[in-house]
Structure 1
Amino acid sequence: MRITDTSDLWWKSAVVYCLDVETFMDWNDDGVGDFAGLANRLDYLAELGITCLWLMPFYPTPGRDDGYDIVDFYSVDPRLGSLGDLVEVIRTANDRGIRVIADLVINHTSDKHPWFRSARASRDSPYRDYYVWRDEPPEDEGAPVFPDAETSNWEYDERTGQYYQHIFYREQPDLNITNPAVRDEIARIMGFWLQLGLSGFRVDAVPFLLETSAVANGSELLPDPHEYLRDLRTFLGRRSGEGVLLGEVNLPRDEQETFFGGDEGDELTMQFDFITMQKLYLSLAREDVTPLIEALQSRPAGSPDSQWANFVRNHDELTLDKLTDEERQEVFAAFGPEERMQVYGRGLVRRLPPMVGGDPRRIRMVYSLLFSLPGTPVLFYGEEIGMGENLDQPGRMAVRTPMQWNEGTNGGFSAAPKSRLRSGVVEGGFGPAHVNVTSQRRDPDSLLSFFSTLVRHYRNAPEFGWGAFGVLPTPSPSVLAHTLTLDGGQVVALHNFASDPAVVPLTLQVPEGGGVLNDLLTGESLPLPEDGRLELPLGAYGYRWLRVVSLADTRQY
């Protein structure tokens, strides 16, 4: 099996790791994580096999929205370090084969940003049209993103007597991308960070970025908002031939395809697959893979260069908004029955291990599935050791807790008093005394060791990132059997969502001259009958990765 050089499409087979510098490692013990701490933990990420590091916002911020309210797009929050410290992290990561991308937050600014301070000072301000103003809010305004904190997407500004739009918090006034000056500024922001060594961006809340219907400041509406997204992709291509735009697009399938750019693939490079994630949890709750299969088979084909980003957990609430009300209640009942575990009526503020009662079989099955799905796996820091959440923290902060390095004070994240930490450390059975990097590094049977194994075999199997996806029929609704085929090579992945063992009958195509099945995770070799028919046992929450190998192929591994 051979594939051509695809280094410029590195994201097709990347392993992405998302972290917040503030909560990863505090090197000067002031209670806030910093770039010096991250630099000293890059070897850990390299050992794990990470190939792309995604940094959550590190820009100067008043902290209303955990860093997503930005006062300077061209700098680093001084609590985290300096531009020099960031560049050193990028250089060190690159030396270890890890690319770095960062959040591109261009929907809005902080209301403390100099642009907005000027804009709200006078209607004649040169920055007035950087934002969206109206004399009265529209009658058909959409629902607030944060219904617990906001009742409207518009805020009245007494000084200038108009309302400004804020799809998120009122402290985050929306930028007006119909203004050419704003679009030029966004290009300068991208160019600045690319010049400092970033390999691309995770683009925050992309659909809101392209929303132009509420603009009424005299700017000419964009006739095709997606043309602007294509412009961003073109600009990225000019500045970096292998740069990536990883977009947050939580929309129905037909609209997701539009954000890829359809068959041309000239808009977002990658998108998070929110629909598959939500159907995964529904399948887990039911122990029935049917919803998950439906989600995977509903993916639009699009361009062969486009890619889906798969995830089990991200840094926000675990949204279930694309499920029906009845389906959402099923997931709530199974994994978040208490009111404090739910948020906004649409999501959960929990991590997977506590949701499944810490069952190591179920946890490992889910992450085996994540790495074997067609697309690119994206991890949220702490998943590799099985961290839990802290439900005493408000909303999304429940899962944005300090990384647990050892069983010592604050999990080894910081020696500062707990009162100075940005977020409370996880407590109880998923706290540092029971879940930490140091103890798992010494244990070959730990979850961390299991993740290292998954990463290694995923990276050795290009079928996962590049292969054509297919589903094999099974008699059990609890078993997903799927194939990934590339250049004549094929991998078969089996996953049992049930607590009962299963026997999976399969019919596989036998290579000319005969073949065998190599178990990629255990190294076991299984005979493949001449007719391709066989039965494979799966334990409770069992999983297997099997490669079909020709007996004549001397390149078996």
Structure 2
Amino acid sequence: MVRNNWWQKAVVYQIYPRSFQDSNGDGIGDIPGIIQRLPYLKELGVQVIWLSPIYQSPNDDNGYDISDYRKILPEFGTMADVQEMISVAHQLNLKIMMDLVVNHTSDEHDWFQQSRLSRSNPYRDYYIWRDPVDGHEPNNWLSDFGGPAWEFDDKTQQYYLHLFSKKQPDLNWENPAMRHDIYDTMSWWLAQGVDGFRMDVINLISKQRGLPNDPNVDADNHGSSMTFVANGPKVHQYLQEMNSKVLSQHDVITVGETPGVTTADAMQYAGFDAHELQMIFQFEHTELDNSHEGLGKWSDERFKLVDLKKILSKWQNDLEGKAWNSLYWNNHDRPRVVSRFGDDSDKYRVISAKMLATTLHFMQGTPYIYQGEEIGMTNVNWSAISQYQDIDTLNAFDDLVNQQKRTTPEKMMTYVHHSSRDNARTPMQWDNTRNAGFTSGKPWLGVNDNYTTINVSESLANQQSIFYFYKKLIALRQQMSIIINGHYQLLDMADESVYAYRRTAQDSELLIISNFTDQVQTRNYSLDASAKLLISNYEDDQGDVLRPYESKVYFKDT
């Protein structure tokens, strides 16, 4: 049974504030810039805006290292700007979802500054400190950004845990006082008028009892500890407590970022009666092109459609009636969808971007659009590693090329072009003027060279653009209950070229057909004569013939 909550019909648009719109010429996107562009998002038709972090931060990991949860990073603006943004958004019937980063803080947060003063400091147990073992790290856990997940502190002669950068110490959720302070901060933000939270790596907050060694890490420190440290023994206890004390008191939207989860895990986190979160982000489909050489996401391999269908269908089928899916292709941590799953060549960029949008937006769940996706922005292809800023990319290049010598600089650059987080973080392309209309100054990160042809201004001037296609998809979701409630049925799992599925409800049916190749395909799905073409990325319908990247949806009343 599908519940009828407002967030099940909603479409969410993610803003990466640093790269969205600069208003003062310092080269960094800001809150006044977002306010300026809210009418654009209203025109697109989305209902919710998710903001990546705007809090006070030293920016070691672009804001995901927070030094004060209740202050705004000055380069983004002021709290007064945030309150104006919330007010203007609400006037436009747009909701604001904040990024909540509570697995870790910055090492410059006052809690950590206090914590490292002495072993007896009241804030010591806000973080995870351990004695050395045989003169080394307490265990073999690895940071997701490379190297050990432990940093030695000379002053107190102990190590602290950091699953990410050493400037991002992990919080100790075993400590009730720390949890209370987090819940108090969440309530404070809800009192400011925000409408929900996206929770960063929220399934990492409960660590394995005793912090045992990770069996997936070899003697040469190869591997990743993310799966091993995910879904710890008390994570559901903590989230149910958070829900009881904060979330259940408000009509909010919540989604948790949860690496390393199964559909069974998802039903615990986001089950309709679980009293934890409303949705989660899972990453199975975004890891399809991971390296076969043990280099994780650093790869230039092409995904296989059969694998994509298998994963997305599993999530559709397993969660139906029990929990709610989040639907997304890309975000601030993932490459551009048209470059990764489509074809970003001049010939097929527009048509394949529309195909990908169609494939996702007719599934059951809440769709998330990442800024620029709606105009078909692409990955960048910079030639020098010095042009990149992402800490994850720079660390990986140094580790895999310089330290471990597991690949060459030239090959690593092809992996960077394919997988770097900076692909998603280049400035939003608003028009064909200098710096794509993003800033009058020097942008913090380079603008993609193709901004002169791929930009919002061009998109709004062309009724056949990707933007207007997304607008139509969003409108259809608001109008047709079958998109929310219909049963999902995959057609022909073994087809390596075409993704086709049905959505069925008591009185209606949808047939979604997407050609994922640049070749003409012929398929017959025994279409009922009464079925009508609802939407397509080509101007005419050639029946069983599917042109390159053609996607079409038929609707019929039963």
The TM-score, its normalising length taken from structure 1, stands at 0.80
User: Does structure 1 conserve the Cα–Cα contact (< 8 Å) formed by 2:289 and 2:302?
Assistant: no
Matches of 1:475 and 1:249, distance apart in 2: 29
Residue in structure 1 matching 2:281, options 272, 275, 278: 272
Match status 1:209 vs 2:205:
yes
Residue in structure 1 matching 2:503, options 452, 468, 484: 484
255-264 or 434-443, which deviates more: 255-264
Structure 2 vs 1, CA of residues 304 and 197 (structure 1 numbering), >3 Å: closer, same or farther?
farther
Q: Which residue in 1 is equivalent to 2:351?
A: 361
Residue in structure 1 matching 2:30, options 22, 28, 34: 34
Q: CA deviation at 1:501?
A: 2.4
- 1:307 aligned counterpart, secondary structure: coil
Matches of 2:82 and 2:318, distance apart in 1: 37
**Structural mapping, 1:19-168, within 5 Å:** 19-136=15-132, 140-147=139-146, 151-168=147-164
Q: Which residue in 2 is equivalent to 1:520?
A: 534
Q: CA deviation at 1:415?
A: 0.7
Matches of 2:494 and 2:65, distance apart in 1: 51
Match status 1:503 vs 2:522:
yes
Structure 2 vs 1, CA of residues 286 and 119 (structure 1 numbering), >3 Å: closer, same or farther?
closer
Structure 2 vs 1, CA of residues 257 and 540 (structure 1 numbering), >3 Å: closer, same or farther?
same
Structure 2 vs 1, CA of residues 208 and 359 (structure 1 numbering), >3 Å: closer, same or farther?
same
Residue in structure 2 matching 1:294, options 280, 288, 310: 310
Letter aligned with residue 285 of structure 2: T
Residue in structure 1 matching 2:480, options 457, 461, 485: 461
Match status 1:548 vs 2:556:
yes
Matches of 1:379 and 1:281, distance apart in 2: 23
Q: Which residue in 1 is equivalent to 2:254?
A: 245
Structure 2 vs 1, CA of residues 226 and 141 (structure 1 numbering), >3 Å: closer, same or farther?
farther
Q: Which residue in 2 is equivalent to 1:327?
A: none
- 2:352 aligned counterpart, secondary structure: helix
Matches of 2:302 and 2:456, distance apart in 1: 32
Matches of 1:29 and 1:251, distance apart in 2: 40
Match status 1:233 vs 2:210:
no
Structure 2 vs 1, CA of residues 523 and 123 (structure 1 numbering), >3 Å: closer, same or farther?
closer
Matches of 1:5 and 1:252, distance apart in 2: 23
Q: CA deviation at 1:293?
A: 2.5
User: Does structure 1 conserve the Cα–Cα contact (< 8 Å) formed by 2:243 and 2:276?
Assistant: yes
Match status 1:436 vs 2:455:
yes
Q: Which residue in 1 is equivalent to 2:432?
A: 407
User: Does structure 2 conserve the Cα–Cα contact (< 8 Å) formed by 1:352 and 1:388?
Assistant: no
Structure 2 vs 1, CA of residues 435 and 303 (structure 1 numbering), >3 Å: closer, same or farther?
closer
Q: CA deviation at 1:262?
A: 5.1
189-198 or 229-238, which deviates more: 229-238
User: Does structure 2 conserve the Cα–Cα contact (< 8 Å) formed by 1:474 and 1:505?
Assistant: no
Residue by residue over 1:146-200, the C-alpha shift from the partner in whole angstroms, topping out at 9 and shown as x without a partner, is 12xxx21111111111111111111111110000001101111111111111111
Q: CA deviation at 1:213?
A: 3.2
User: Does structure 2 conserve the Cα–Cα contact (< 8 Å) formed by 1:518 and 1:549?
Assistant: no
Q: Which residue in 2 is equivalent to 1:422?
A: 444
Q: Which residue in 2 is equivalent to 1:308?
A: 325
Q: Which residue in 2 is equivalent to 1:260?
A: 269
Matches of 2:41 and 2:388, distance apart in 1: 27
Q: CA deviation at 1:461?
A: 2.4
Q: CA deviation at 1:280?
A: 9.0
Q: CA deviation at 1:487?
A: 4.1
User: Does structure 2 conserve the Cα–Cα contact (< 8 Å) formed by 1:12 and 1:466?
Assistant: no
Q: Which residue in 2 is equivalent to 1:339?
A: none
User: Does structure 2 conserve the Cα–Cα contact (< 8 Å) formed by 1:201 and 1:244?
Assistant: yes
Structure 2 vs 1, CA of residues 351 and 316 (structure 1 numbering), >3 Å: closer, same or farther?
farther
Q: Which residue in 1 is equivalent to 2:373?
A: 383
Structure 2 vs 1, CA of residues 355 and 90 (structure 1 numbering), >3 Å: closer, same or farther?
farther
Matches of 1:523 and 1:112, distance apart in 2: 50
Structure 2 vs 1, CA of residues 172 and 134 (structure 1 numbering), >3 Å: closer, same or farther?
same
Q: CA deviation at 1:281?
A: 9.8
Q: CA deviation at 1:368?
A: 1.5
The TM-score, its normalising length taken from structure 2, stands at 0.80
User: Does structure 2 conserve the Cα–Cα contact (< 8 Å) formed by 1:22 and 1:34?
Assistant: yes
User: Does structure 1 conserve the Cα–Cα contact (< 8 Å) formed by 2:326 and 2:367?
Assistant: yes
Q: Which residue in 1 is equivalent to 2:195?
A: 199
User: Does structure 2 conserve the Cα–Cα contact (< 8 Å) formed by 1:265 and 1:305?
Assistant: no
User: Does structure 2 conserve the Cα–Cα contact (< 8 Å) formed by 1:178 and 1:212?
Assistant: no
- 1:298 aligned counterpart, secondary structure: helix
Q: CA deviation at 1:465?
A: 2.8
Structure 2 vs 1, CA of residues 355 and 315 (structure 1 numbering), >3 Å: closer, same or farther?
farther
Residue by residue over 1:61-81, the C-alpha shift from the partner in whole angstroms, topping out at 9 and shown as x without a partner, is 111000011110112112211
Match status 1:178 vs 2:174:
yes
Matches of 2:112 and 2:211, distance apart in 1: 16
Q: CA deviation at 1:101?
A: 0.4
Letter aligned with residue 471 of structure 1: L
User: Does structure 1 conserve the Cα–Cα contact (< 8 Å) formed by 2:328 and 2:369?
Assistant: yes
User: Does structure 2 conserve the Cα–Cα contact (< 8 Å) formed by 1:13 and 1:376?
Assistant: yes
Matches of 1:279 and 1:404, distance apart in 2: 28
Q: CA deviation at 1:538?
A: 2.1
Matches of 1:302 and 1:475, distance apart in 2: 22
Structure 2 vs 1, CA of residues 304 and 61 (structure 1 numbering), >3 Å: closer, same or farther?
same
Structure 2 vs 1, CA of residues 112 and 304 (structure 1 numbering), >3 Å: closer, same or farther?
same
